Structure 1
Amino acid sequence: MTPRKIAAFAIGPIGGALLSLITLPIITWFFSQEDVGRMAMLQVTIGFSTLLFSLGLDQAYVREFHEVDDKPALLKRALLPGLSILFVTLLVLLSFGGTLAGWLFERPEWHLSLLIATVLLAAFISRFLSLVLRMNEQGLAFSMSQLLPKLVLLAIIAGYVLLGADTSLTNLVIANTAAFVFVCVVFAFNTRKEWIAGITATLDWQHLKLMLRFGLPLILGGVAYWGLTAIDKVFLRTLASFEELGVYSVAVSFAGAATILQSVFSTVWAPTVYKWASKGEGLENVHKVSRYILGLVVLVFCLAGLLSWIVTLFLPANYIAVQWILVACLGAPLLYTLSETTVVGIGISRRSSFAMLSALVAFAVNLVGNWLMIPRFGAAGAAVSTCISFWVFFVLRTEFSIYLWKPMPRLLLYGYSALTVAGASIFTLYGASIYPFMLAFWGLLLVAALFSFKAEVLEAVGFVAVRLRK
């Protein structure tokens, strides 16, 4: 993949993260805290239903794409089984009236259930159509399809405000539904040749069985990772309140800015490191990159700890707790990105079961952590539990990679990552009462990190200086 194509694919996640950073804070000014929390549950449900009903065939589609000649027929085999099961399931749930909305929102209203069903169908179809664009390396179309729904949601919210519309849960769900349907329509238009040809294609049952044999076992790992990233919201919905869930979802939204680093790095890193491995060289580069990312992770944690108060300038008064919760919420994207630099041994050795085991163990840790901490600390407990779980996830991926591949130095990796996780956890739980001490901690940690990564800092500064002169 050329740098130009990488940049085209990167526009989507970068722009999407930035627009999300704008959208949710705007929503907090016009919709109730409970309804913001209910939207978080909708997002969790979308992620889970897409993962579950895909039957692993989305990953089978990617695996088989370059192996088959009839791409439209492959799309039909991948999309049709899960779509059929999802459609029948939603019809059954809708026959019970507002049950679906009752489960998600504690508002058992049939029209809300219908909107939820529409979102789930649109998200599911979009998932598979997006793969067509990705596999055909249509990066710009893929990215624009990610950006446009965010813009549509912003436009609808702005329309509500300008027209003085009722800021009700129904209108908020309608806005989100419209955004998902819009992106589905855009994907359908951009891939129209593929899926139109797929409608009349013959369904090869034997090949479908092979795809299911490949894809179904991957669901367990996918559910484990989904649980690692989403179970905190489920526990908040069950053990706390929609208000706590609303505060938490806003903190996660701000922390989502760190997913820009995760998305861009993951896009570039995997192809690069496998290229090194194919040539039997580059191990020293893996160590070098892991040091750079570790230094960047520590820097972001420290700056967030020192400057998190800034977010309160953009939020209503009832979201003041976001400034404390935000720092622990950074753990998920930052530690995942760091683990991508150390997990390469699992990919190179093709022992994906170890990656699944890492996710399962971390998921179990998160289950226990949420169960113990949310009743006492609410949203703060959920943030800390997830942060610690991702540190466990990072350590396990690193150790399994070393076991399967080659050793790597990890004293700095574990030392600094443990310090940042411990600092973020204390800051989130008790920062309001010991704020001066936490400022001193983050300041000292920042100075120590700058000293430890002095060579990397000087090299990065020199690189930027050369680019600016050019």
Structure 2
Amino acid sequence: MTPKKVAAFAIGPIGGALLGLISLPIITWFFSQEDVGRMAMLQVAIGFSTLFFSLGLDQSYVREFHEVTDKPSLLKRALLPGLILLVTTLLTLVMFGGALASWLFEIPEWHLSLLASTALLAAFISRFLSLVLRMNEQGLAYSMSQLLPKLLLLAVIGTYVVIGAEKSLTNLVIANTSALICVCIIFAYNTRREWLASVTASLDIQHLKHMLRFGLPLILGGIAFWGLTAIDKVFLRTLASFEELGLYSVAVSFAAAATILQSVFSTVWAPTVYKWASKGEGLENVHKVSRYILALVVLAFCLAGLLSWVVTFVLPPKYDAVRWIVVSCLGFPLLYTLSETTVVGIGISRRTGFAMLAALSSFAINLVGNWFLIPHYGAAGAAVSTCISFWVFFVLRTEFSIYLWKSMPRLLLYAFTLACVSGAAVFTLWGETLRGLMAAYWVLLLCAAAYSFRGEIRDASVFALQRGRAASVRRG
């Protein structure tokens, strides 16, 4: 993938994260904390339904894409079974009136169930249509399809504020559902040739069975990873309150800015490392890349610990606790990104069962952590449990990769990440009491990282200086 194509795919995640940081404060000022928490449950349902009802055929589509000539027929085989199953399920739930809304929002209203069903359906279809753009390397169209719905959500919320619309859950669900419908329409337009051709394409049942044999086993691992990232919200809804869930979802949304690093890196890294593997060269760079990402992870944790008070300027006073919770919420995007540099042995050896085992083990730890911490600490407990679970996830992926492939230096990896996670946990649970000590801790950790990664800092500085001089020469 060329740098130009990488940049095209990166526009979506970067722009989406920035637009999310703009729209989030507006939502927290305009809607109640409970309704913000209820919307988090809708996002949990969207994530689970997209994963479960896809039947693993989205992964099969990616796997088979370059090996078949009839791409529209492949799309039909991938999309149709799950779509039929999802529509049947949603119609059944809607027949029971407000059952779906009662489970998600504890408000048994039929119109909320209908809106939620529409959102689930739009998100599911968008998942498969987005794969068409990705596999055809239409990066700009893919990114625009991510950005425009964010802009629409911002526009709808802004309109609510201007006209003084009712600050109700219904209006909030309408805004989010409208955005999802918009992205589905945009994806449908950008992929119209593919899906229109798939309508009349033949349905090869034998090949569909082959795709299901590949995709269905992946659902277990997918559900385990979904649980690792979403079970905290389910526990907060059950063991705490929608207010705590709203507080937590806002902290997670701010921490999601770190997914910019995750999205951009993942787009570049996977194709690069497998290209190295196919040629049997360049794999010595894996450790070098992991050191650079580790340096960025430590820097992000330290800066978040020192500057998290900034969020209080854009949020209502009732969200003051976000400043403490957000640091632990960084564990998911940052540690997951770092694990992508150390897990390459599992992919190269094709022993994906070990990746599933890492996810299942971490999911189990998160279950136990949420069960014990949420009743005592609420949203803070959920954040700490998830952060610790992702550190275990990172360690397991690294150790399994080493077992299957080859050894790599990891003392520095474990030492710095453990220091970050431990500091984040203490900061989240007791940071308000230990303000001065925690500030000193983050400064000392930052200084230790600067010393340990002085070579990487020097090389990065030289590279940036050379690129700057080259750019000056071209302009001159």
Please, which runs of 5 or more residues in structure 2 have no aligned partner? 471-476
- One-letter amino acid of the counterpart of residue 311, structure 2: V
Pairs within 5 Å for 1:69-218: 69-218=69-218
Q: Secondary structure of the equivalent of 1:165?
A: coil
Contact 1:402–1:408 at 8 Å: present in 2 too?
A: yes
Alpha-carbon distance in 2 for matches of 1:281, 1:91 = 53
2 CA distance for matches of 1:23 and 1:261? 20
The structural deviation recorded for 1:376 is 0.3
SS in 2 for 1:290: helix
1:458 and 2:438 matched: no
Is the CA contact (8 Å cut-off) linking 1:247 and 1:319 kept in structure 2?
A: yes
Structure-1 residue corresponding to 2:474: none
Identity among equivalent pairs (%): 77
Matched to 1:331, the amino acid is G
Paired residues of 1:21 and 1:256 also in contact (CA < 8 A): no
C-alpha displacement at 1:273, in angstroms?
1.1
Quote how far apart the aligned CAs of 1:283 are: 3.1
Distance 1:374 1:205 in 2: 47
Q: CA deviation at 1:462?
A: 1.6
2:262 — aligned with what?
A: 262
Counterpart AA for 2:231: I
Aligned to 2:223: 223
Please name the residue that 1:402 is paired with.
402
Which residue in the other structure is 1:35 paired with?
35
Aligned residues: 470
Return the alpha-carbon distance in structure 1 between the equivalents of residues 170 and 219 of structure 2. 33
Q: Offset at 1:249?
A: 0.6
Q: 1:393 and 1:142 mapped to 2: Cα distance?
A: 30
Pairs within 5 Å for 1:292-307 = 292-307=292-307
* Paired position in structure 2 for 1:381: 381
Match of 1:363 in 2: 363
Q: Distance in 1 between matches of 2:23 and 2:60?
A: 34
Cα distance between partner residues in 1 of 2:88 and 2:277: 46
Contact 1:331 / 1:390 at 8 angstroms: preserved in 2? yes
Distance 1:146 1:267 in 2: 15
Instruction: Check conservation: 1:363, 1:389, Cα contact below 8 A.
Output: yes
> Residues of 2 paired with 1:383 and 1:169: CA distance?
25
For 1:241, the aligned partner's letter is S
**In the TM superposition, what are the counterparts of 1:61-76 in structure 2 within 5 Å?**
61-76=61-76
Partner residue in 2 for 1:46: 46
Corresponding residue for residue 318 of structure 1:
318
Partners of 1:462 and 1:2 in 2: how far apart? Answer: 23
Give CA deviations for 1:376-397 in whole Å, capped at 9, x if unaligned. Answer: 0000000000000000000000
| Deviations 1:122-159 (CA, angstroms, capped at 9, x unpaired) | 00000011111111111111110011110000000000
User: In structure 1, what residue type is equivalent to 2:373?
Assistant: M
Give the deviation of 1:191 after TM superposition.
Answer: 0.8
Q: Match for residue 285 of structure 1?
A: 285
Equivalent residue runs for 1:3-14 within 5 Å? 3-14=3-14
Is the contact between residue 332 and residue 386 of structure 1 (CA under 8 Å) also seen in structure 2? yes
Aligned residue for 2:397, secondary structure, equals helix
Offset, 1:237:
0.6
SS at match of 1:202: coil
What amino acid is the match of 2:131? L
Query: 2-side partners of 1:228 and 1:190: how far apart?
Result: 33
Partner of 1:97, secondary structure, is coil
Counterpart position of 1:439: 439
Contact 1:73 1:202 in 2 (8 A): yes
Q: Which residue of 2 aligns with 1:417?
A: 417
Determine the C-alpha separation between the residues in 1 that align with 2:401 and 2:21. Answer: 34
Give CA-to-partner distance per residue, 1:53-105, whole Å, 9 cap, x none. 00000111111111111111111111110000100101110111001000000
Q: Distance in 2 between matches of 1:294 and 1:196?
A: 45
SS in 1 for 2:284: helix
Alpha-carbon distance in structure 2 between the residues aligned to 1:282 and 1:196: 42
Is the contact made by 1:255 and 1:326 (CA closer than 8 Å) also made in structure 2?
yes
Deviations along 1:408-450, one digit per CA (max 9) or x if unpaired, are 0000000010010000000000000011000010011111110
1:204 to partner: Cα distance: 0.8
Aligned residue number for residue 57 of structure 1: 57
Amino acid at match of 1:291: R
Deviates more, 1:15-24 or 1:30-39: 15-24
Matched, 1:469 2:469: yes
Q: Distance in 2 between matches of 1:85 and 1:67?
A: 27
Matched letter for residue 342 of structure 2:
T
Cα RMSD of the aligned pairs, angstroms, is: 0.7
Q: Offset at 1:272?
A: 1.1
What residue in structure 1 maps to residue 473 of structure 2? none
Partner of 1:245: 245
**Code of the aligned partner of 1:117:** S
Give the Cα–Cα distance (whole angstroms) in 1 for the partners of residues 81 and 283 of structure 2. Answer: 42
Q: Are the aligned partners of 1:345 and 1:402 in contact in 2 as well (CA < 8 Å)?
A: yes
The one-letter amino acid paired with 2:429 is L
Structure 1 position 25, deviation (Å): 1.7
Structure 2 Cα separation of the partners of residues 255 and 124 of structure 1: 25
Deviates more, 1:316-325 or 1:187-196: 187-196
Distance in 1 between residues matched to 2:60 and 2:92, nearest whole Å: 28
Please state how far the C-alpha of 1:284 moved relative to its aligned partner.
2.5
Deviations 1:238-283 (A, max 9, x none): 1000100111011001100100000001111111111222222223
1:463: Cα distance to partner? Answer: 1.5
TM value normalised by structure 2: 0.98
Secondary structure at the counterpart of residue 167 of structure 1: coil
Equivalent pair of 1:72/1:201 in contact (CA under 8 Å)? yes
Question: C-alpha deviations, 1:338-365, integer Å up to 9, x for none?
Answer: 1011000001001111111100000001
SS in 2 for 1:283: coil
The 2-side partners of 1:69 and 1:281 are apart by: 31
Distance, in Å, in 2 between the alignment partners of 1:127 and 1:193 is 17
- Say whether the 8 Å CA contact 1:328–1:428 is kept in structure 2: yes
Offset of residue 461 of structure 1: 1.5
